[in-house]
């Protein structure tokens, strides 16, 4: 089952050529504290137009999609970050 979080804090690098590189993100846990995750590697996926991703998120040509690897408790995990440029909002699917 895929879990989607609609509001994620992300630290990223905006390069002069307009590309975005996600570096870290954080999530609010059940205790009301933030868990922080460093992105070990990523791959950007292009959105060819409006479509629904396998995560159930509507993507368009204005959506940046990143497949990211993070280390959680010494285990490498795969997550997807979505950045909607029109709204400046990040989503996370895991």
Alpha-carbon distance of 25 to 92, in angstroms, equals 9
71-80 mean pLDDT: 90
**Domain boundaries defined on the chain:** 4-93
* Residue 41 buriedness (CB in 10 A; 0-12 / 13-18 / 19+): exposed
Global pTM value: 0.90
| C-alpha torsion sign, points 19, 66, 39, 22 | positive
48-64 mean pLDDT: 88
- What is the band of 20 on the pLDDT scale with cuts at 50, 70, 90? very high
Alpha-carbon distance of 44 to 47, in angstroms, equals 10
- Is the Cβ–Cβ distance between 21 and 27 less than 8 Å? no
Provide the pLDDT for residue 2: 83
SS3 19: coil
């Amino acid at each position: 089952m895929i879990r989607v979080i609609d509001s994620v804090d992300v630290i990223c690098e905006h390069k002069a050529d307009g590309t975005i590189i996600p570096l870290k993100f954080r999530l609010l846990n059940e205790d009301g504290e933030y868990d922080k995750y460093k992105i070990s590697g990523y791959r950007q996926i292009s959105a060819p137009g409006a479509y629904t991703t396998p995560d159930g998120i509507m993507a368009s040509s204005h959506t940046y999609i990143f497949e990211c690897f993070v280390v959680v408790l010494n285990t490498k995990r795969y997550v997807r970050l979505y950045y909607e440029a029109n709204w400046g909002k990040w989503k996370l699917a895991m």
